[in-house]
Amino acid sequence: MQIKPIALKNLIIKNNIFLAPIAGYTDLAFRTLSLDNGYGLCFTELVSAKGLVLNPTVNSILWGANGNYDRTAVQIFGQDPYYMRSACESKELEDYKIIDINMGCPVPKVFKNGEGSALLKDILKAESIISECVKSGKIITVKIRTGQKMGDDIASEFSKMAENAGASLITIHGRVREAYYTGEPDYNAIYKAKKSVNIPVIANGGIFTKEDANKMVNETGADGIMLARGGIANPFLVCELLGIKPNLTLKEFIITHLTESIKIHGDRKAGLEFKKFAPYYFKGMLGVSELKKQINYAKTAEETIRLIEENF
């Protein structure tokens, strides 16, 4: 794929490989390391707009990596245009230049409230949310899916609406809600959406290798790609795509991840958090089954670091 900058109003994102919002994974530690690996832009996990307005607290979920708010977007979700705009204008998000609206989350808790992917079936509501958020003066981007049910394709219609409502970029996860995270992405839906708008379109879904990335861009004509699980499983995939040498080995990356995580979450919680990452980091590796078992029993991140230093 061709590496190129992406212009969002007056902000230039240095390249077109983005790290996805991934709840429970793209915390401050992982985002910081990912930006060091070269991503143009990363996203916080989804944050409730209403929650932020009614109960304003800022924790590490909302901190920009390295205090860098030019390369970190915050993602908000909700179904009430008032709270969505208020969140964009809130003091808690004042450092952010880019606010991404989640219109793709399939999780029942979110969907049942008319939020996330539920908005894909209420285009008028979605439009009013986007246009209200745009009034905040922030750069507004939107992340969608291709529909609700197998065979749906709302991506073009929705992307045109988002552009007209003032969105500066749209990310399309090429799967419908009912597919959750499995199956081949719908390249054709993304291709048609890309052709129907003038704002940048970022394609997402199922990119785990350089070949997947090239296929996604070739099939869709998208302006860039967003890595999600592929970016966790291989933190250096972004370096490979950018044609740059990683600064760290995988072992160094993992230990730095744990060390940064301890600073943010404390030793115990960092150890627990890491258990989610270990299956991704060690997937398909031979001779690490005993190490994986021991990490699972480890009570703290310090203990995990020692295990990795001695056995990996």
Site string for ligand FMN, 62-101 (x = CB under 6 A): -------------x--------------------------
Per-residue x/- track, 28-67, ligand FMN (CB under 6 A) = -----------------xx---------------------
Least separation in angstroms between residue 306's CB and ligand FMN is 28
Check if the beta carbon of residue 187 is closer than 8 Å to that of residue 219.
yes
Distance, in Å, from the CA atom of 128 to the CA atom of 23, rounded to the nearest integer, reads: 26
Size of the site for ligand FMN (CB under 6 A): 21
What is the number of helices (H) and of strands (E) in the chain?
14, 10
DSSP state of 10: T
Residue closer to ligand FMN by CB (options 181, 297) is 181
- The candidate with the shortest Cα–Cα distance to 2, out of 239, 203, 240, 224, is 224
For residue 154, give both structure tokens: 């709302």
How far is the CA of 261 from the CAs of 43, 185, 257, in angstroms?
17, 33, 6
Residue 141 CA to residue 172 CA, distance in Å, equals 11
Is 20 in a helix, a strand, or coil? coil
Shortest distance (Å) from residue 10 CB to ligand FMN = 25
Three-state secondary structure call for residue 197: coil
Q: Should residue 205 be labelled a site residue for ligand FMN when binding is judged by CB under 6 A?
A: yes
Q: Which of 173, 177, 192, 194 binds ligand FMN (CB under 6 A)?
A: 173
Among residues 207, 217, 270, 305, which is the contact residue for ligand FMN, using CB under 6 A? 207
Residue of the chain from 230, 255, 257, 260 that contacts ligand FMN (CB under 6 A): 230
Q: Is 228 a residue that touches ligand FMN (CB under 6 A)?
A: yes
- Nearest CB to ligand FMN, comparing residues 40 and 230: 230
